[in-house]
């Protein structure tokens, strides 16, 4: 027996390599946007979550710089001790107003919002029903909570109902968790049906709007608005790091929920408050999302244009069902996906391969932004055509 307790690390990495699951970072220099500099090469960016192009917006930068000048770089403590500023409260009010909820609470990231909220809401005597394609932060939040966790097949409302019929009475509380836009597929959850079933079985619902906020809905409030569920009782979480162009996470809901989370969510109570710069940038972005619907309209025009070009020029491409700016091309193996990703990069297109264990099947994931021009989308289709 080896007497090095760490030797398994190397063996484990070798296994990851053999499966073509190995991953490493790539350096981007310069700013964000439709065209970026990736490892010294200029590429058109189809890999960003910056759907509205706000991460490079001058108004967010100025808001962040002013906040640093006035308040400093760090928030110096948790929200309940020295970390709370008026700016945090303004951001929470702006989010609540966008979401049409009574209140909101800002966390230091979306991941922390999910793990803190789920573990505050349910425990050992409770049940979590979770879509099988949910984001890692929902899944790990569920595990952390100590509740009994059962996955249901992706978007399968019948299966969800059957699980509730069989299991609900065995538990104290029940929480259903789902992405609104599935981050690695681009399809939407059947939220109205999920909420109906949840009501019938006295269950709570948490919906993750990471890829919905700023993107979906007439006012950019997200999937909840788009699917006609504004005002219904549920727990809406999201991130400030995607369409909002900053960093941080939030939960929006009624006063009681938010007050409860301020008292019980460990990843809010025991972590340092969001920095002044991130908070100010997010606040500026929420105002832009409210006041400039043309960005969202342009984003959706770009989605339509890409779909139109694919239908016309690449009818044999296997595209996963999508109702969002996330479009995925299905590929049989991880190595195929890697090869296509590599080829696209050489052709000046950044659209990464997404492989297991992140997703069950390998794919190339394309995300569109409001700041893409038609010629960018045409170049993508041309490169795909040449494969
Ligand atoms: C990105 C993401 C998160 C995490 O948000 P961060 O602010 O980046 O920590 C949570 N849920 C989903 C669905 C995401 O895509």
pLDDT digits (tens, 9 = 90+) for 103-129: 999 999 999 999 999 999 999 999 999
Q: How far apart are CA 107 and CA 147, in angstroms?
A: 22
Burial of 312 (0-12, 13-18, 19+ CB in 10 A): exposed
Q: What is the pLDDT of residues 283-299, one digit of tens each?
A: 999 999 999 999 999 99
The whole model's pTM is what? Answer: 0.96
By percentage, how much of the chain surpasses pLDDT 90? Answer: 95
Q: Which residue's alpha carbon is nearest to atom 8 within ligand 1?
A: 110
Cα 277 to its chain centre, rounded Å, is 21
| Domain annotation for the chain: domains and CATH numbers | 20-49+293-386 (3.90.1150.10), 58-291 (3.40.640.10)
Give the position, in ligand 1's atom list, of the atom nearest the Cα of 137. Answer: 10
Is ligand 1 within 6 A of the CB of residue 209? no
Residues 6 or more apart in contact with residue 11 via CB below 8 angstroms: none
User: What confidence tens digit (pLDDT) does each residue in 269-328 have?
Assistant: 999 999 999 999 999 999 999 999 999 999 999 999 999 999 999 999 999 999 999 999
Whether the CB-CB separation of 144 and 158 falls below 8 Å is answered with no
Ligand 1 centre distance from Cα of residue 110 (Å): 5
What is the distance in A from the centroid of ligand 1 to the CA of 103?
A: 21
Rounded mean pLDDT, 216-239: 97
Q: In terms of Cα–Cα distance, which of 224, 229, 204 is closest to 214? A: 224
Rg (CA), the chain: 21
Share of the chain above pLDDT 70, in %: 99
Query: What was the pLDDT predicted at 358?
Result: 84
Task: Report d(CA 307, CA 297) in Å as an integer.
Answer: 15
Ligand 1 pocket test: which of 141, 210, 325 has the largest number of ligand atoms within 8 Å of its C-beta? 210
Which helix (H) or strand (E) segment holds residue 318: the answer is: none
Distance CA 114, CA 133 (A): 15
Give the per-residue pLDDT at 19: 87
pLDDT in tens, 172-207: 999 999 999 999 999 999 999 999 999 999 999 999
pLDDT of 1 reads 60
Q: Which phi and psi angles does 361 have, rounded to 5°?
A: -130, 150
Q: From the CA of 111, how far away is ligand 1's center (Å)? A: 6
Q: Whose CA is nearest to atom 6 of ligand 1?
A: 110
Return the ligand 1 atom nearest residue 135 CA: 13
Q: How many CB atoms within 10 Å of residue 44? A: 23
Q: Is pLDDT at 2 greater than 80 in this prediction?
A: no
Assess whether the previous peptide bond of 357 is cis (omega < 30° from 0).
yes
What is the C-alpha separation between 44 and 34, in angstroms, rounded? 6
Q: Is the CB of 249 under 6 A from ligand 1?
A: yes
Residue 8 CA, ligand 1 centroid: distance in Å? 30
Q: Decide whether any atom of ligand 1 lies within 6 Å of the 278 Cβ.
A: no
Name the residue at shortest CA distance from atom 5 of ligand 1: 110
The CB of 213 under 6 Å from ligand 1? The reply is no
Nearest CA to ligand 1 atom 2: 210
**Considering only CA atoms, which of 112, 144, 37 is closest in space to residue 271?**
112
Is the C-beta atom of 241 inside 6 A of ligand 1? yes
Beta bridge partners of 363: 330, 354
By most ligand atoms within 8 Å of CB, the mutation choice from 241, 244, 275 for ligand 1 is 241
Of residues 255, 159, 167, 175, the one with CA closest to residue 208 = 175
pLDDT over threshold 90, residue 357:
no
Measured in Å, residue 239 CA sits from the centre of ligand 1 at 6
Testing ligand 1's pocket by substitution, the residue of 183, 245, 326 carrying the most ligand atoms inside 8 A of its CB is 183
Tell me how far apart the alpha carbons of residues 129 and 167 are, in angstroms, rounded to a whole number: 10
Measure 185 CA to ligand 1 centroid, in angstroms. 14
Q: Which residue's C-alpha comes closest to atom 14 of ligand 1?
A: 210
109 Cβ below 6 A of ligand 1? yes
- Residue 327 forms beta bridges with which residues? 366
Rounded to the nearest whole angstrom, what is the distance from the C-alpha of residue 311 to the centroid of ligand 1? 31
Q: Is residue 3 over pLDDT 90?
A: no
Task: Write out the two tokens for 26.
Answer: 């790539």
What phi-psi label fits residue 49: left (phi over 0), alpha (psi between -120 and 50 degrees) or beta? Answer: alpha
| Strand (E) or helix (H) holding 62 | helix 58-71
Residue 185 in contact with ligand 1 by CB distance below 6 A = no
Q: Hey, which bits of 49-182 come out as E strands? A: 103-107, 127-131, 148-152, 174-179
Mean pLDDT of all residues in the chain?
Answer: 96
CA 210 to centroid of ligand 1, rounded, Å:
6
Distance, CA 342 to ligand 1 centroid (Å)? 26
């Amino acid at each position: 027996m080896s007497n090095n307790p760490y030797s398994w690390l190397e063996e484990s990495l070798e296994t990851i390599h053999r499966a073509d699951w190995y991953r490493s970072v790539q350096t981007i220099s310069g700013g964000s946007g439709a065209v970026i500099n990736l490892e010294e090469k200029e590429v058109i960016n189809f890999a960003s979550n910056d759907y509205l192009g706000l991460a490079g917006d001058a108004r967010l930068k100025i808001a962040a710089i002013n906040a640093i000048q006035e308040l400093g770089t760090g928030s110096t403590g948790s929200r309940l001790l020295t970390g709370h500023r008026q700016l945090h409260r303004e951001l929470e009010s702006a989010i609540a107003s966008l979401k049409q909820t009574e209140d909101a609470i800002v966390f230091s990231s979306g991941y922390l919002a999910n793990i803190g909220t789920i573990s505050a809401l349910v425990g050992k005597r409770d049940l979590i029903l979770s879509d099988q394609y949910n984001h890692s932060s929902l899944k790990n939040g569920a595990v952390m909570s100590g509740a009994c966790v059962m996955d249901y097949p992706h978007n399968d409302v019948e299966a969800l109902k059957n699980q509730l019929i069989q299991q609900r009475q065995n538990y104290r509380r029940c929480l259903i968790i789902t992405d609104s836009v599935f981050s690695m597929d681009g399809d939407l959850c059947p939220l109205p049906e999920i909420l109906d079933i949840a009501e019938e079985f006295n269950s709570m619902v948490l919906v993750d709007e990471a890829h919905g906020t700023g993107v979906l809905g007439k006012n950019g409030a997200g999937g909840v608005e788009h699917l006609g569920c504004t005002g219904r009782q549920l727990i809406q979480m999201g991130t400030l790091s995607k369409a909002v162009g900053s960093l941080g996470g939030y939960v929006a809901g009624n006063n009681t929920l938010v007050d409860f989370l301020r008292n019980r969510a460990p990843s809010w109570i025991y972590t340092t408050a969001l920095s002044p710069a991130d908070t100010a940038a997010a606040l500026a972005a929420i105002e832009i999302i409210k006041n400039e619907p043309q960005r969202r309209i342009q984003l959706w025009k770009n989605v339509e244009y890409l779909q139109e070009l694919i239908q016309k020029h690449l009818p044999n491409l296997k595209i996963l069902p999508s109702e969002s700016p996330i479009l995925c091309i299905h590929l049989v193996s991880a190595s195929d996906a890697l090869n296509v990703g590599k080829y696209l990069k050489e052709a000046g297109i950044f659209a990464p391969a997404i492989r297991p264990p992140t997703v069950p099947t390998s794919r190339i994931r394309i995300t569109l932004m409001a700041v893409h021009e038609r010629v960018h989308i045409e170049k993508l289709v041309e490169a795909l055509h040449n494969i």
